[in-house]
Structures are given as C-alpha cells and as structure tokens.
Structure 1
C-alpha cells in the first residue's frame, strides 16, 4: 500500500472527541503514512503519543492485520530500552496506536555520518542489546534494527521502536512474504535462507550498528576491523566480527550474550589506561565538532547529508517498501519530529531540550614552535536559563523515592504542616483515579479533621475550586470515614451536606473541599483537582494500612471498609493498584478479612466488567479469585468454592498452552476485547487485584449433591499413584538407613576384634580391608 500523499491530518479539535480519555495537546508531525500528536492520558496523567493513520489503511484487511500484529507484539514488551505501546484501535475509520512519548530524536538524526566516542557507543549498543534480549525472551524478533529505529529518550537512553517487521521467534517462513529488513543491516540468511531466520539476525544488525557508530560507516568487503578505520579499542574488533559473522552458527547465540560482553567492555573502558602518546594528524581546516556530554541540555544538531555521499539504492527501495506495506514508522515519537517521517513530512522543532551524544573529538594539530598571537578573549555567552520543572515532572522523577517513603525531596509547591506535607494537584481526576495516583507516589489523599485544617488548606494552597480529599462513605452507606480510619466532625460539612442524594449512578460517596472552607459530597465520576498528603513515618491512610484495619473492624463487628470500596448488592469490592503475584494478592486479601473477588451473580459480573473496562489500559490485568485445580483433568474453581458461573472469557481464552497458566484475571484478549484470561500468576502480569468482602449467604454455592460428587477416575488414580510413590520412597529411605548402619556396625566389630589379636594381625587387617572394599563396590 502506497503512502497517501493527499492525507490531511485532523486538527486537534476534530480529533479530541474521539479520544475522551486523553487531552490532545499538540501536533507533532505528518507524512503520507499518517500523523502523530502529543497528548496526556487524563487518568494516569502521563504523556503519550497518538499516531493516526489515513482511512485507506484501515479499509485494507491485510494492512489492518499487520498493524494490529505490530501493536500486540509491542504491548507484550516492557523494558526501558523499548518504546512502550499502551493501546490501539479505530477512531472514525482511522487506525490509531497510543504509545510512550519519547522526548528525543532518532540515533540516525543524532549520529549519521559521525563517529561517536567509544564509551558512548558501547553504552548505547549495550542498552539496545538488553532491549532486544527482552523482546527475544518474549518470543519477538525485530528484524529491522538500524539507527532510524532507535530513539534517544531522556539522558540519551536508547529506545527501540518500529516493530512493524516483528514476528514470533520460530514462526515458519511464508514463501510469498517479501524479504524484509534494510540492506547493509540485514544478515545474509534473510535473503539466502529466510526459513532459518531467528534471533541471530537481530544480533547481526546490532553488530553493524556498533560498527557504524564507531567508524561513521557500515562494514563492507573486504572486512576491515573498526580499530583500523577509527581510533577505537581493538577489543571491539572481536565482538563486532563475531556479531556480524556471515554464518549464524558462529555469531552470539543470544542478544543477552552480546549485551553481557558490551557491559564488561564498557566497565573496562571507564578505567584509566596508560598509553604511549601518538602524534596527532593535522586538523582539517575549519571548525571541528567539540566533544559534547551525553547529558547536555543543548539540543542535538542534525548533520545534513552531503550530495556527494553514496546512498545505497536498495536501501531507499527497501525503506519505501516498508513504508508502503506496513505504513507504520514511528513518526516523530518525540516532539519536534524525526527522520522516520516520509520525505514530504514537514519537521517542527520543539524548544524541549534533547539528549546529545558524546561525539568523538577530532585530532588536535601538532604543536608548532611559534609565539602565539595574542587575541582578546571572546565574551562569554550568557548562561541559558534552566528549564523550570513542573510538578508532574518532579513527581515522575521522584516517584520511586516517594514510594519507598523517602521524603528528603518533594516537588516545588509542597507545604509542610506538622509532620505532614501537602501538595495541590491541579490536573482533574475522578476520586478513584486521584486515589490511585496518590498511592503510586507514596502519598494518600489528604485527611483534615478540623475546621482549622480546612481553613489552612484553602489559604495555603490557594484553592479556587472544589478538590478531592480522602473522605468517603463508600461501602458504608452514610457512615463517613477519613482514609486514616477516623470519623469526620459534623461541623465540617456545608449546610445540608452530606445530603445522601445522588444524580449519578455511582452515588455521591466522596467528599470535596470547597473554597468556602467546608465539605460537600460529590459523585466519584466527577473530575476535580486533589490534595496529596505525605506523613513522616508513614501514611496512616495508605491502602495497605486501610486493609490492615478492615480485618480488626470485622472481628469487632464494626466494619470500616477502605475508601473507594463499592457496595454491589451487599458485597463490597475494592480495586487495589499494586503489581504482585496471584498468590500474594490472594494472601493479602485473606489477611484483610476478604478474598480475591468472584462474580456471584450476573449483577456482580456486570459491575466487574464495567469497572475493569474503565480501569485497565492495554496490556494491564486485574487478578480475580479463580484458579485451576486437578492434574489429569484440570477444572476452573473459585477461591470461595462457589460455582464457576458468570465468567465470560475473552476471545481465544482460556489458552491451554503448556498448562502453567492456572490463574484467573480480567483484561484484554484477542482483538482488544475485554474478558477473563488465564495467566501464569506472576507479579508482572497484573497491575491491580480486586478484593471482595461478602457474606456466605450471598455466595453462589453448589448444592450438597454437587459439592460431594465423586472425583474423576483419572484424578483419583493420579492422587493414589502419588500417595503410593511417597510411601515407597519413605519405606526405601528407612531400609537404606538400617542397611547402612548394619554394614557400619559389622566393619567396626571386625576391626575391633582384629585389633585385640596379637598373631596374624597384619594379615587380618588386609583381609578386612579387602572385605570392606568389596562391600562398598557392591553397594
């Protein structure tokens, strides 16, 4: 499929109604293959890039299939050196993909035609190799590694994009398939033996990329070691030669092996080495490029390609084929565009600072015995103002520290009162989203127990509109509690509040602080600013602390459920935003007096489905209280022993696989359709888990006959065989211990008798040694 040269990118106003969950903030770039926009995902307050394709691509079934395959391939990957894909779909006939917004340019744009410093080169390529190793471990080949498909994020971190040519490792070759890749970077078997292509084709391309970064050109025949072309360490010669060997059997078997060697070489290059000084060649006339630190705030400068430079014709044709058939090159994944747009795409530069590579310095001229001419020193350039860090940027930077409880640094604008620190977040969210945001940054929604607290917050934080606080009657129907477990004073409410009435299906179960220093109850779905609170020594309103208090309150028959709990026909449900294994989540739920949630009725099943669709993004999941039991004939069961009813599997689920995926979660299956999925139960497979507190009388329990039905014959035989094996093993071990003791006693007694004999003692000892050796040989 050819690019649509007449494609007109929709305006921000035209596009916004199709993406209600995102705030589209800027247009980045446009080409014949589509347009890219910068946006903010409102629920998580994170920057994203939205790529829109022309309608003609969405109308082509073959192209749509390739597009969806690429999105799904990347969505399964999660690594700092890979561009993350969050979602994809169709908007008014235009295919789209939502991905990580990388604030940077491509490696091609930043380093084309230049040799870069060897330490910088090994750092970049080691990161690329680690990213590829992660993709290979998940069964995905890239098949088109080249500088144009590597973007440089903050701190010049390399990120691999454009998995448009990706396919599963080991997938059979389609004889009708066009040979993919880019000439110069593709391994020989891509053309000569495409049926045998595996992860070593990516290793080959990485080796070519490393050679190019060190020498400013790709390898050619006859082979020249990179150290002979540029002044890099000879240790690169062996690594690159092995990575780019024509025979796949003689290359690194895995990208992980290449990454390990590059890490070791990088560490070695950092150590000081004594070398004999070399006489530098005369410098070329004109200004040379000075070395630039890789973390400079100066924007990277593009080097235009000279007309006299030779460009392989096949390289251009292959690039056109890739653009035409897949139509998915990551157009300007960062602000300011990228070289990955089509030839007609206008470039827009952004003032956002870009990471810059550390270029290899040119040789200095030999010293000349002349009296230097005295020149006036040039006036120093005025210092550039440092960019002002926003609250959102500060929270992203500090997130790991704050989550760990380290409050040594807080975002600008945070105000301290007593042992707590408060920060107003002006980006509006629903109460649930605000609560999850607080938890993700080691905070809680603020709890303020007195009129003085409310007055102080309005004054110090300069409130001009309602904002969420950590106060709720969720799950309690009229009994309000702060997230720290205390009840609010009645005089905190505005006149007539809380009125316990609602104009919203979700109920008015959450409290907001008004500018007049009073509280009002509002529906959770309303988007409002909110106040974060960090407390020295730990947050008493964290979800973990709230869960700890539930069990005690249930035993005291005065239940206080965590804020955010939903009451569905008498059963309480809470989505907890923590990544952990199914077993850990189940243990934590039971410790809180509940269990992982199960649908006991169609009403509960409908609520779980609706709430999960609102909560989960592409690739995210939520643990549910179901698992497989049985060996010969596995059966799905609920942790409560209820009938396994009201479960709507996602398309293609449950996936039998190798039998290891025995745990139940809710998420997106094939064709981006929501439903129940089976999973292996690992901590990286689900971002949430759903806790339920329910009375046994409300459960969908089987009848007595169902509960006591006999086990299947196969399961009975498997269980009996295991019991028999365990018994035989124990019996054998007891016999072995007795046998060994008898032998030991026999030998000891013979030696004792021999030692008392005065005649023939030497002959007797030899005889006993022979008997002992013979017994050892026979066991």
Structure 2
C-alpha cells in the first residue's frame, strides 16, 4: 500500500455527486469527514431504516491489497450479529471509491462522553465487559479490530456500547506485509503492533481494551512508571490485576481471549456494591482529575434536537474515519509503554469545503459550534528515555531474542543463579502447558530442582508462599515421574498423600508444582499457577523440548524404552505432545518422523474426542494445529492418514473440506465460523498453523484395515471386492435356495412341455407362445404369477398353480435371510459412501450411491449374490 498519508489529499464528495451511485438509498446529510473517508446519513428505501454510509478515498480503492482486505473484512463483518457490534449491511464500489453501509447508532462516542471524567467503576466494568463480549464474537469469526479506542466505541440507548470502525480490521489469519502501513492508535496499541506486526492476534485487541478500562477508571491512559488505577482513582484494587494482565507487554501473559477478560470483570462486578467503591485514597495519591460520575450522569446525554439528531448521533465517526497510523519506515519506539504522540488536531487545520447537505426541508447551514468536534484522544505524558523504569517482565520481553540465542549477558532483575543455572520467577498464573511454552519462547525451560536442597533454595530465594509450576510430569507414563532433563524423581519429595496416580482422568493430575514445606504436589495441567524459569549458563538446556525429543528419537533408534517429554499425554497407550512451532505441514511431518513418531492420527473414537477437545486450548486466533492427514494427488483425490489407518473419527467443520479456491491438501484442527472447532483442510504453509500435534502411537492400537477389509483406493475395485465378499458370505444359503428353485423350474418346464405337446403339434400360435413363455422363465429364473392367456390357463393352469405354490414356499423360507444379507450390503455401501465423502472423494461417493439404490431392488441384489456383476446405473 502507498505509505503516503491520505489525510492530506482526500476531499469528501458532494452529496449530489453520490446520489447516482446509491439509488437504493435516500441520502440525507453529511455527518463527518476524516483522512480515511467521509460519513453520510441515509435511509434505505426497501427496508425503511436509517443507515450510515462511509465512503473511502479513491487511492485506497485503487490499492489491490487494501481492496481485497477491505472486501474480505466487510463480508465477514456482515455475517456477525451481536448487540455490541455495529452492524454492517452492505459494501461496494462507487466509481472507484470503496464504501460500506452500516448501522446508524443514535448516541455519542465513549470518547465524547467519558473524556476527562472518572467513570463509576460498576459502569466502567459493565461497558468493558460488553465490549469484550462483542470482540469475542468478532474474534471467533476470525476478525481482529486492531484499533480499539474510545472514539471507536459508540454508546447507544442506555449506554450500551457498540464497537465500530472495523474498517481497519482484517482476517486474523492474514499475514502482515512489511511494506504496508501499520495501523493503531498510540497509547492503545500493544507493543507487538510495532515490534512484530506478523504476530498480532486477538490478544492485541485485549491490550487496547485494558487501556480503555484504565482510562475509564482514572481519566487517563497508563503512563511510565506504571501506576495501578486504584492508586489514582479510589477504585477497587482488584481492577489492578485485571488491567495489569490485559496490558501485559508480552502477549502470552495476557488473557487468552476476550471472553476470559469479560468473565473476570463479571466475577468482580458480582462482588461489588451497586454504588461507587468508597475507599480512602492511598497516601500520596494524586487527587482525581474529575468527579466520579455514575452511568446516568457520566455517559448519558440529553435528548438531541430533532434537526441535529444525525449529527449528534454519529459525531464520533469523525474520529473513526480519521485515526492515527504508523508508517513502517518509522523506527519503532520502545515497547513499554506504548509511544506517546500529540493529540490529533484535524479540526484545527484549515477548514475544508464541506459538502452541501441537501435535505427534504433544505435546512440552513449549521452555525459554528452546533456540532462540537470530539476532544482529542488522551495520551500518556511524554517520557524521557533515561527516566524510564522497566519492570522485570518488561525486561524479559525485551531480552527474549537474546535469551533464545543463549546470550545471558543481561538478565531481568530478580534473576538468581545457582549451580551454573539462572532462575527467574514469573508471577503470572498460567496453565502448565502455557507456562512450558512460555519458557520455550524465552529460551528457557521450566525449572528442574532435583533434591530437597534445591527446593529449599527456591522457596527461600523467591519467598514462595503458594504452589508454583516446575518442569516435572509423569511424561506420558502413569506413575513414572521424570524431570524435564530426563532424571527420575526422588519419591521422597512428594507431599503426604501425593501423587495421585489414578488413570481415570485422561488429563488428570500428572504435573507437579512446588509447595512450601518444601514438597511437591501433582495437579491437573489446566490449573493456572506462577512458575519458575531456568536457563543453563551453557545455553544448552537438557530440559528443553528439543533435547527431550532428541532423547526419545535416540531411544527408539537404539530399541530402548523412551522417556517421553514432560507434557506428554497418554491416551489409550499412545503418547501425544503439542509442539508450539509455526512451521509448514511438511516440516512438521518431517520433524515428527525424526522424533520417532508422526503427526497425530485418531485411531479410535476416544482419541478423536480427546484431540478435538484438548487442542482447542492451543489454537491461536485463526491458526490451526497440524495433524497427520493429507489429500492425495489427482485423479484419485481422497483424504488419507499418514499411518495408513482407516480415515475415521474425523469431525469436519461446517463447509469443510473445501478445495474449490486454492490447493489446500493438508489437515488441521482449528476454529471456524461462529467459534466452532473442527477439522479444516488447509494450505501447507507455516502461516496457517501455530503448532503441531506429535504422536508416538502404539502399533497394536492403530485402526489399520484388516486383510479382508475393503479399503481399496479405486472405487470400482472396491465395489467388485464388496460384491465378491457378500456373494461368498451368502454362497451356501443362497445356493441351497437356488438349487431347490431350479429343480422346481425344471419340473414345471417338463410338465409344461408334456401338457402342450398336442397343441404345439397342431397350432403354430400355441407353439410360438409356449416357446416364448419357456424362454422367459429360463432367463428370469422364476415362474410368473400370470400365464397371460385364458387359453393357456385351460391347458396348463393346474400345472402352473402347483409349481407357483412350491416357488412361493421356497422363497418364503429364504426371504428373511435374503433381506438380511441385502441390508448388510446396503449398510456396507452407506459406510463407504460416508468415508469417501469425508475424504472429499465426491465422484466415488456418487458412484456408490447409485449402486446402493440399484441394490435395494431384489433382482439387482440376487444377481450379485448369485455371482453376477450387474452394471451400476449411469448418472
């Protein structure tokens, strides 16, 4: 995208100019203009509803990349329906100008209503919780906002917040282009927006929401040094922890999703009184800059005059369409806190020519001051680099690239050394898996403290008063506990009654935490606890995931019993381990093979259920988790597991598999539309997945085809084998029936020949009839119920009735077994149809369905069990 700033060149079109492009709308008036577009009010004629139409500059519409992103986002937003999101109704192109039609909200922006005011803590929590719920809905559909700030939140009736301006949003899975501008508003943008734009995900929006909550409670955004909001505004101190986590500089330490933050706020609100939190101000705290306002006073406005309704209702859109941008060529500022900039002063520039607003009553032009421009976004106080106070976790984030390379020349404050290793306490509570992945991301491992002296040292050095995660688990083997470096655990270190080695819970208490005492306790991995990191001075960590996997591979190679890495799960005898690496499917498969395993495959319904459920906590945004299946090359395109197992226990997501647009030949677990998890086919590139699932499977438990199983790739071969199998199964019983039936036919034909001898001799007509009748019986293999001639009935009626009665009795004796065999065959066909459908083998599935319909008819199936090969009907 052109990095020039469009704010200096965009001229909003006249309303008269736009009318020709919007015949379905009655354009009302001009609302606002900014650098990124102009907004107009309108009435949709067909549905008689008010709407807002945002028109973007032509230079944006001329950029193919921007256009594609805009259209993708508009389509995704139009599918969303949530009370805290501004609805998107339509989008398009008006003579090169992209536009979007959206809900017209009657209210003011949060910036307009709350700027410079302390908002009642209950009201603030309610607003932010609702914003989180709206964001969570968008995130589940794969849409990030990327520019959350007060001006982009509109307050509707009863101060219900609605998130607007997803115009800067893009699909969460879309990779960042380093040559394009970086969106975001200073003070609200998370550190990764500038430092690592490709890593932006839903937690980037959560950072901005945390800043927003801080601002509502304190009337300012966080500054350096960071001060808890309770020290500034008399709010409940429990808000401090929520905001601190939401705005943590390291994305991995924030709430994993917006719903988690909303739940935390809802829980806090349940324990708050309905009125303001009357707590004495902390000593030395600065007086609040404004009085604390309840929701009714602070966020509600008087009823707007009818002539100014649209202007007052959407005044916030002026800020929405003219937000801040960063150019990627600008050197990134320090990551903590977000960079300070001067407030936006677009309204103080030389006034632009405002398009005429032609209304039904041809109202006069607005007088100066009728519509008050929104006040500028608050920004942190300017900081001086030399005065910056960096916290230990901030330092850890800054040093991460060095630490991953084994450079320990600088370590975060609070790091302590012992026996050639450096230890650091991370006070943020995470699940065991997330803590382990956090350690790997920072070039560390979860701490290994193999003896009582080590545990005592950690408790005393870090003043630990509660449980903390260590690098210790049962390593995928119940009751076989090992440290991350492969050392067996000294059982004397357990607390009394520990460990609980019951195998009942597949995700049971198989992970160890350090307790005061000192002692160890086994806990479920889902428990969130602080944790200890460990760096070996040599830079080669025996407990690193890489080293652990190498040891497993070596054990398999040398035919020894392996010690699986910490964090490995034992599911029905097979071991599973999530590897948090964003690499391509082919690379992941090669690494899994080198580790002595393979990309995971569900070998049973239990494994399939566990994989789908457990992997949900590891899915990041719209990036999935690789598993071991791929689509074979044309012409025989079908899905197969890399182990050769039957392609079963797969739950496709809605609309999947889908290979209509681009080659997407590999399989992953990911979150799809409306937040539903399932299997998706995908391109195999590294940007599609944030992890892969490694499996060391038990061969005896694999769901392999049996020697008699029908698992042939070619559908014609499969059908021929299926027919042979059912014919062989029914050979004895059908043979008995067939032999008896043939004897009856032979006897009838002999009697027929004897009874018609005279007639055939003296009548050519009778001779021709009898010959035709006999030929039909031989071809059909059955005696017809009607002779078709009154004359024939006089000659052979009694013989025909006797033979027909015997045939009926023979069939009645065999019919039940025949219908049972046919039902089994139809069921076999239906099962294979479902399997082929899952494999995306549509042609084969349709072919077998035609066979299923034909075989439901008795003659077709009798031909099959009789050893015949009747043709499958054409389409």
- Relative to the length of structure 2, the TM-score reads 0.46
**How many angstroms apart in 2 are the aligned matches of 1:312 and 1:28?**
40
State the partner residue of 1:311: 352
**How many angstroms apart in 2 are the aligned matches of 1:604 and 1:306?**
61
* 1:674 equivalenced with 2:677 (yes/no): yes
Q: Residues 430-449 of structure 1 correspond to what in structure 2 (within 5 A)?
A: 430-449=431-450
Q: Residues 5-16 of structure 1 correspond to what in structure 2 (within 5 A)?
A: 5=107
**How many angstroms apart in 2 are the aligned matches of 1:562 and 1:315?**
70
| Contact kept in structure 2, 1:633 and 1:714, CA below 8 Å | no
| Contact kept in structure 2, 1:34 and 1:54, CA below 8 Å | no
Distance apart, 1:75 and its partner CA: 4.3
Larger Rg: 2
Distance apart, 1:384 and its partner CA: 8.7
Distance apart, 1:657 and its partner CA: 3.6
State the partner residue of 2:424: 423
**How many angstroms apart in 2 are the aligned matches of 1:98 and 1:443?**
28
**How many angstroms apart in 2 are the aligned matches of 1:11 and 1:505?**
46
**How many angstroms apart in 2 are the aligned matches of 1:428 and 1:34?**
23
| Contact kept in structure 2, 1:651 and 1:671, CA below 8 Å | no
- Relative to the length of structure 1, the TM-score reads 0.51
**How many angstroms apart in 2 are the aligned matches of 1:501 and 1:703?**
34
**How many angstroms apart in 1 are the aligned matches of 2:205 and 2:668?**
23
State the partner residue of 1:649: 652
State the partner residue of 1:77: 175
Of residues 593, 596, 616, the one that matches 1:590 is 593
State the partner residue of 1:286: none
| Contact kept in structure 2, 1:468 and 1:513, CA below 8 Å | yes
Q: Residues 762-777 of structure 1 correspond to what in structure 2 (within 5 A)?
A: none
State the partner residue of 2:575: 572
**How many angstroms apart in 1 are the aligned matches of 2:715 and 2:691?**
35
**How many angstroms apart in 2 are the aligned matches of 1:345 and 1:36?**
24
Tell me, which stretches of 5 or more residues in structure 2 are unaligned? 1-102, 137-145, 185-192, 194-199, 213-248, 250-316, 359-370, 719-875
| Contact kept in structure 2, 1:550 and 1:560, CA below 8 Å | yes
State the partner residue of 2:526: 525
| Contact kept in structure 1, 2:424 and 2:532, CA below 8 Å | yes
Cα pair distance change 1:28/1:34, threshold 3 Å: closer
State the partner residue of 1:604: 607
**How many angstroms apart in 2 are the aligned matches of 1:638 and 1:442?**
34
Cα pair distance change 1:613/1:447, threshold 3 Å: same
**How many angstroms apart in 2 are the aligned matches of 1:48 and 1:452?**
50
State the partner residue of 2:237: none
| Contact kept in structure 2, 1:420 and 1:535, CA below 8 Å | yes
Please give the per-residue CA displacement for 1:94-141, whole angstroms capped at 9, x wherever unaligned.
xxx946649999xxxxxxxxxxxxxxxxxxxxxxxxxxxxxxxxxxxx
Distance apart, 1:558 and its partner CA: 2.1
Distance apart, 1:683 and its partner CA: 1.6
State the partner residue of 1:665: 668
| Contact kept in structure 2, 1:661 and 1:680, CA below 8 Å | yes
Cα pair distance change 1:35/1:348, threshold 3 Å: farther
Distance apart, 1:346 and its partner CA: 7.0
**How many angstroms apart in 2 are the aligned matches of 1:436 and 1:532?**
11
| Contact kept in structure 1, 2:108 and 2:155, CA below 8 Å | no
* 1:484 equivalenced with 2:485 (yes/no): yes
**How many angstroms apart in 2 are the aligned matches of 1:617 and 1:11?**
34
State the partner residue of 2:34: none
State the partner residue of 1:562: 565
**How many angstroms apart in 2 are the aligned matches of 1:549 and 1:496?**
32
| Contact kept in structure 1, 2:636 and 2:714, CA below 8 Å | no
Cα pair distance change 1:309/1:467, threshold 3 Å: same
Cα pair distance change 1:409/1:12, threshold 3 Å: farther
State the partner residue of 2:402: 401
**Bigger proportion of residues as helix:** 2
State the partner residue of 1:241: none
Please give the per-residue CA displacement for 1:671-713, whole angstroms capped at 9, x wherever unaligned.
3322111122112211100011111221111233446736468
| Contact kept in structure 1, 2:107 and 2:157, CA below 8 Å | no
State the partner residue of 2:104: 2
State the partner residue of 1:632: 635
State the partner residue of 1:698: 701
| Contact kept in structure 1, 2:473 and 2:511, CA below 8 Å | yes
Cα pair distance change 1:692/1:707, threshold 3 Å: farther
Partner of 2:387, secondary structure, is coil
**How many angstroms apart in 2 are the aligned matches of 1:616 and 1:395?**
24
Aligned pairs, number: 462
Cα pair distance change 1:503/1:665, threshold 3 Å: closer
**How many angstroms apart in 2 are the aligned matches of 1:623 and 1:521?**
30
**How many angstroms apart in 1 are the aligned matches of 2:649 and 2:711?**
22
Partner of 2:686, secondary structure, is coil
**How many angstroms apart in 2 are the aligned matches of 1:417 and 1:297?**
35
* 1:453 equivalenced with 2:494 (yes/no): no
| Contact kept in structure 1, 2:107 and 2:154, CA below 8 Å | no
State the partner residue of 2:341: 300
**How many angstroms apart in 2 are the aligned matches of 1:294 and 1:434?**
22
Distance apart, 1:661 and its partner CA: 1.5
**How many angstroms apart in 2 are the aligned matches of 1:49 and 1:564?**
36
Cα pair distance change 1:692/1:296, threshold 3 Å: closer
State the partner residue of 2:546: 544
| Contact kept in structure 2, 1:597 and 1:692, CA below 8 Å | yes
| Contact kept in structure 1, 2:625 and 2:689, CA below 8 Å | yes
**How many angstroms apart in 1 are the aligned matches of 2:617 and 2:120?**
27
Cα pair distance change 1:505/1:595, threshold 3 Å: closer
Distance apart, 1:505 and its partner CA: 6.6
State the partner residue of 2:535: 534
| Contact kept in structure 2, 1:29 and 1:346, CA below 8 Å | no
| Contact kept in structure 2, 1:35 and 1:52, CA below 8 Å | no
Please give the per-residue CA displacement for 1:500-537, whole angstroms capped at 9, x wherever unaligned.
35997731111111122221112211111100001122
Cα pair distance change 1:74/1:659, threshold 3 Å: closer
| Contact kept in structure 1, 2:467 and 2:513, CA below 8 Å | yes
**How many angstroms apart in 1 are the aligned matches of 2:504 and 2:528?**
15
Of residues 83, 86, 91, the one that matches 2:201 is 86
State the partner residue of 1:553: 555
Distance apart, 1:312 and its partner CA: 3.7
Q: Residues 306-385 of structure 1 correspond to what in structure 2 (within 5 A)?
A: 309-314=350-355, 349=378, 351=380
Distance apart, 1:595 and its partner CA: 0.7
| Contact kept in structure 2, 1:29 and 1:345, CA below 8 Å | no
